[in-house]
Amino acid sequence: MMPTVRTSEEARALIAKRWAKPRPAPVDKRVRTLPAGSKLEERWLRKAEELGLVYEGMSRNAHRRLAKRLADDDTARKIKHVHEARPVPVSDDDELLLVHLEAEAARWRARVKRDHQIALAHELLADKAEQELADLMFKLGLIS
């Protein structure tokens, strides 16, 4: 609980005491697939451009997210080949593009399903609010 401060001098002393404590630096424990500015990230950014997935006016963040998804899809393709005990082929752009677009389609289908569930929940909330409004208006005699 914060002590009661009566004067501005006490407040300044309390602030100085609080800020005098050393604070540990925040630790970012996220594993970065493509660290910003790395050669690997630049490679995947170029690959996305080569495959024609980048459009004019695309923001840097959107371009980076696309490159990350492309890298993740390529990794998933390689893992699939390993699990199927097949040799991993050299990264063929056409195959990579197919794998990426299949993964994007799956992501969009999952997003549509999630958005549909959210829309249904919102519809139920709207119906409930509308019913409560009608009940209150009936109770107040505004409707009969």
pLDDT tens digit sequence for 6-23 = 788 888 888 888 888 777
Report angle CA 28, 76, 118 to the nearest 5 degrees: 70
Grade residue 24 by pLDDT with cuts at 50, 70 and 90: confident
51 contacts 96 by C-beta, under 8 angstroms: yes
The mean per-residue pLDDT over the stretch 75-81 comes to 83
For position 77, what pLDDT does the model report? 85
> Could you give the percent of the chain with pLDDT greater than 70?
92
99 contacts 77 by C-beta, under 8 angstroms: yes
Does the pTM exceed 0.75? Answer: no
The mean per-residue pLDDT over the stretch 94-99 comes to 86
Q: What is the mean pLDDT of the chain?
A: 86
Query: Tokens representing 41?
Result: 């990230």
Residues near 58 by Cβ (< 8 Å), separated by ≥ 6? 66
Distance, CA of 94 to CA of 130 (rounded, Å): 53
